[in-house]
Amino acid sequence: MSGEFDLIRRYFTWPAHNAVLGVGDDAALLQPSPGQQLVVSADMLVAGRHFFADTDPVRLGHKALAVNLSDMAAMGATPRWAMLSLALPEVDEDWLCGFSQGFRALAEQHAVSLIGGDTTCGPLNLSIQIMGEVPPGQALRRDGAQAGDDLWVSGTLGDAAFALQSLLGKVRLTQVEASMLCLRLEQPQPRLALGTALRGLASAALDVSDGLAGDLRHLAHRSGLQAVVEVTTVPVSEVVQVLSPHPLYWQCVLAGGDDYELCFTAAPQHREALSALSCQLGLPLTRIGHMQAGNGVQWLEGGQPVDWELQGFDHFA
Ligand code: ADP
Ligand code: MG
């Protein structure tokens, strides 16, 4: 059995290449790149709320960091440093080994250093702070959309929500389909290359973490505009497409959380650049609507307004 400090040393200490001082002192020391703005965000994952307590720890380690990296992507930032605070109900060596492996692999893939954190005993809770950098004035904010801008989304939506429905036994999928969707739920890929490439192209952006309906409402509100979405153009995976008559279809596609795609606005003059970028990244970028004067989100189906009450995820609703 290892104690707190032994545990930190064994599972959460590895060379922090881009920090002056990493894990092991009272605080870390960082040297931000000259002239860059610091971008900071935090995300907490609570067992039973954000994930099943028996989730594969390797995937959980990946996901805990991925959701934070997704916020960096949504800001157009380059992530550099992370802090990890853990409440653990017990010292489970297998779990810690898997969790740190999943976390470290993704961190190293994106050259992010783990520079500190806190470890206590308590109900399983994972809290991460992420820090990154962006050139001054180039961050992708939620409040920059202009009337007439196109509205875009990366990848496909609804996969993670249908994975959850399948885990809850509410949708029947083949084993192959279920594992494809579960990969989206449990190992989301933060769209970092897209985020930095959108600097200078996107006028506003956010990541779709709580579902398009809820997240888009935030973007519309912050920009003082209305988002108009043609629902038939919203990109879905092949697995989700065949579920199309399912009663939960639109709820999952338009309001299901956890996809971690980027939703952004851009002036129509950038359409060609964006389709070239899509090819270059091997990531679909789909135009799903536009921004106009007004507020909230207007859904269209085949050009006709539909009055759907779609709510994004809200912990206190
Ligand atoms: P202090 O008592 O000064 O708060 P701690 O004993 O909590 O310090 O932590 C010792 C060192 O280990 C610190 O550098 C802290 O940042 C780091 N640390 C603690 N928990 C973690 C963790 N889960 N991941 C990474 N670093 C951690
Ligand atoms: Mg401490």
Can you tell me the mean pLDDT for 256-269?
97
Weakest mean pLDDT among 110-119, 152-161, 301-310: 301-310
Could you tell me the two tokens for 121? 């005993």
pLDDT for the residue numbered 315 = 64
**Which of the pair, 307 or 99, is modelled with greater confidence?**
99
Per-residue pLDDT tens digits for 117-139? 999 999 999 999 999 999 999 99
For ligand 1, mutation pick of 23, 100, 104 (most atoms within 8 Å of CB): 23
**Residues 218, 296: Cα–Cα separation, whole Å:** 8
Q: How far is the CA of 312 from the centre of ligand 2 (A)?
A: 35
Structure tokens at 92: 């489970």
Residue whose token pair is 């290892």: 2
Cross-strand partners of 78: 133
**290 Cα distance to chain centroid:** 22
pLDDT at 313 over 70: no
Instruction: Find out whether the beta carbon of 8 lies less than 6 Å from any atom of ligand 1.
Output: yes
Q: What percent of the chain has pLDDT over 70?
A: 97
Residue 83 in tokens: 């802090």
Q: Is 118 in the pocket of ligand 1 (CB under 6 A)?
A: yes
pLDDT tens track for 157-181: 999 999 999 999 999 999 999 999 9
What is the rounded average pLDDT for all residues in the chain? 95
The C-alpha angle 106, 161, 75, rounded to 5 degrees, equals: 50
The confidence score (pLDDT) of residue 244 equals 87
Strand 285-292 relative to strand 226-230: parallel, antiparallel, unpaired? antiparallel
Cβ atoms of 267 and 148 within 8 Å: the answer is: yes
> How far does the centroid of ligand 2 lie from the alpha carbon of residue 119, in Å?
7
Length of the chain: 317
Whole-prediction pTM value? Answer: 0.95
205 phi/psi in degrees, rounded to 5: -160, 155
Give the span between the Cα atoms of 209 and 259, in whole angstroms. Answer: 6
19 lines ligand 1 (CB under 6 A): no
CB 298 within 8 A of CB 227: yes
For 50, 79, 164, the CA distances from 171, given in Å and listed in that order, are 20, 36, 9
Residue 309 pLDDT greater than 90, yes or no: no
Helix runs in the chain, H state only:
4-11, 57-75, 93-109, 159-167, 175-186, 192-197, 212-223, 238-241, 249-255, 271-281
What pLDDT does 314 receive?
65
Let me know: does 64 contact 177? Beta carbons within 8 Å. Answer: no
Query: What is the distance in A from the centroid of ligand 1 to the CA of 14?
Result: 13
Q: Which ligand is nearest to the CA of 6?
A: 1
Say how far apart CA 243 and CA 286 lie, in whole Å: 20
> Do the beta carbons of residue 291 and residue 152 sit within 8 Å?
no
- Predicted local confidence at residue 1, as pLDDT: 56
Name the pLDDT band for 290 (thresholds 50, 70, 90): very high
192-223 residue pLDDT tens = 999 999 999 999 999 999 999 999 999 999 99
113-121 and 78-88 beta bridge pairing: parallel
Atom nearest to 25 CA in ligand 1: 14
Mean pLDDT of 137-151: 98
d(CA 53, CA 76): 32
pLDDT at 167: 92
Q: Is residue 140 lining ligand 1, measured as CB closer than 6 Å?
A: no
Q: Is the pLDDT of residue 246 over 90?
A: no
Q: What is the DSSP letter of 77?
A: P
Structure tokens at 225: 């505009």
Atom nearest to 27 CA in ligand 1: 14
Does residue 117 have its Cβ closer than 6 Å to ligand 1? yes
Which whole number is the average pLDDT over 310-317? 66
Task: Tell me the pairing of strands 261-266 and 150-154.
Answer: antiparallel
Does the CB atom of residue 84 touch ligand 1 within 6 A? yes
